[in-house]
Amino acid sequence: MEQVRACSLTSLAAVYLILAVSPAISDMTDSFERMWGNTQVLYNSTGHQIMSLTLDRWTTSAFRSKSLYLFGRFDMDIKLVPKDSAGTVTTIYMITEGPWQYHDEIDLEFLGNTTGEPYTLHTNIYAKGKGGREKQYRLWFDPTEDFNTYSIIWNPHNIIILVNGKPIRRVKNKMRDDYPFPLFQPMRLYASIWNADEWATQGGRIKTDWSQAPFTAFFRNHRAIACVPYKTAWICGQNSSDSSWFSQELDEDGQQKMKDVDIKYKIYDYCTDTWRLTDGLPKQCVAE
């Protein structure tokens, strides 16, 4: 049965899918479209594009990818809001466009801080409309001084989130054990900035100081090596010169680096939240 299934999927890939590969860094407007708010396209001293997102008391800002993707590696350089950014949330995330109750999503949310405090990276995964899989990490550097690279690797085997090339989180595909995983639905890449002072900084105890506004984050050097689905097919081929991401998993060195991050910088894990675990350990924890 598994052999028949594999053959049918291979045929489907050959007939219905193309592989879109963008291994080189391109202008931001080649890949993204502005959505709302104060979203601007700037140029650095070398003529390369930078997109900025600004938040003030009246409006949020966002942009999104022109393409939908079904698996890929996505890298983005981000320079976060400096100084007192309490209450603000800067995000990059991937999300489907189908019915909300069945949506898939991969979230990286950067929670603002008071001056001198570290930024928090809040991560979450949704599959088939089910989320609640939050993990949070203190960034071990000042993400406002310069650009740093944040990456999502999404393939049929797992989701890996990296910071400056260092893996911090992995979610394995355990669908055979009936654990939901984003597998069938294409997703679009978004970036946004918005106010969430009811929860973002110290659980909502620190509110947004609007006298510090406007709050601006900068994005550059987007790189996508990804599958763009054609029609409704979901499986992706490997006819690319750079397709290592399609089967990438964590080797022993990567697993050790992730463990080191857990020990030193992880500050919240839904799998150990005793306030939420009234019905026992969530089954998704097994897929982490």
Catalytic residues, by residue number, are: 105, 109
CB of 17 closer than 8 Å to CB of 71: no
Region for residue 98 given its phi and psi (left: phi exceeds 0; alpha: psi -120 to 50; beta: otherwise): beta
State the distance between the two ends of the chain, measured CA to CA, in whole angstroms.
Answer: 28
φ, ψ for residue 105, nearest 5 deg: -160, 140
Per the CB < 8 A criterion, the answer to whether 209 and 195 are in contact is no
Contact 149/165 with Cβ under 8 angstroms? yes
Reply yes or no: is the peptide bond before residue 167 cis, omega within 30 of 0. Answer: no
